[in-house]
Structure 1
Amino acid sequence: MENVHRYWFRAKRYGWGWGLPLTWEGWVSLVVFVGLIVADIVVFARHTAAVPFIISVVVLGGLFTAVCWLKGEPAHWRWGGE
C-alpha cells in the first residue's frame, strides 16, 4: 500500500522552511513556480510596471509557500542533526 502521507518537500536541516523537492510532484510544482516568475519578468519588463510585478511575485510566493506548507514535512525551527 502506498504511503498516503508522502511529503513532496523535505524540511531544511538548519533553520525554518523546506529544501529541494523529494517527489516528482514537488519538482513539477517548483518548475511551475519558477516558470511563472520568469513569465512575470518577461511580461512586466515590457511595461516597466513595478507595482503589478511585485504584487504578482508576492502572490505566487504565497501560493508556493502554501503548497510547501500543505505537502511538505511539518515546519519548525531546526538546529541540524536528525
Structure 2
Amino acid sequence: MSERDDGAWFAPKRFGYGAGLPIAWQGWALLAGYIVVMLAPTPLLEWDPILGTGIAAAVWMFATALVLVVAQRKTRGGWRLRIGERD
C-alpha cells in the first residue's frame, strides 16, 4: 500500500506529540466542522448566560473529545513524541 493510500487524514507532527495539519479532504472537513460546532452555541450565551454556558461547555467538551479521538486514529504513524525525525 502506498503512503497516499494509507487512509490517514492528518500528518504527524515533526516536533512534539499529536497530529499536524490535515493531508486529506476528510481531515479538512473534520476541522471545518469542528469550527462550526465550536461557534454554534454562542446564541445560547446571549439567550441565558447561566444555562447557555453549561450547554455550550458540554457541547465544546464533547466536540473536542471527538475530534481528538478521530485525529489520533487517523494520523499517519499514530501519536507519539517526535523530536525532528521524519516518518
The TM-score normalised by the length of structure 1 is 0.84
Q: 1:77 aligns with which of 64, 69, 81?
A: 81
Runs (5+) with no aligned partner, structure 1: none
Aligned to 1:24: 25
CA shift digits 1:38-76 (9 cap, x unpaired):
112233343213222222111100000111022112000
* Conserved 8 A contact 2:44-2:53: no
CA RMSD of aligned residues (A): 1.8
Identity %: 25
1:34 aligns with 2:12: no
Given the superposition, is the C-alpha separation of residues 9 and 46 from structure 1 closer, same or farther in structure 2, using an over 3 Å criterion? Answer: same
Q: How many residues align?
A: 81
Letter matched to residue 80 of structure 1:
G
Report which of the two structures shows the higher radius of gyration computed on alpha carbons.
2
Q: Distance in 1 between matches of 2:46 and 2:16?
A: 34
Letter matched to residue 30 of structure 1:
L
Partner of 2:41, secondary structure, is helix
The TM-score normalised by the length of structure 2 is 0.80
Aligned to 1:60: 63
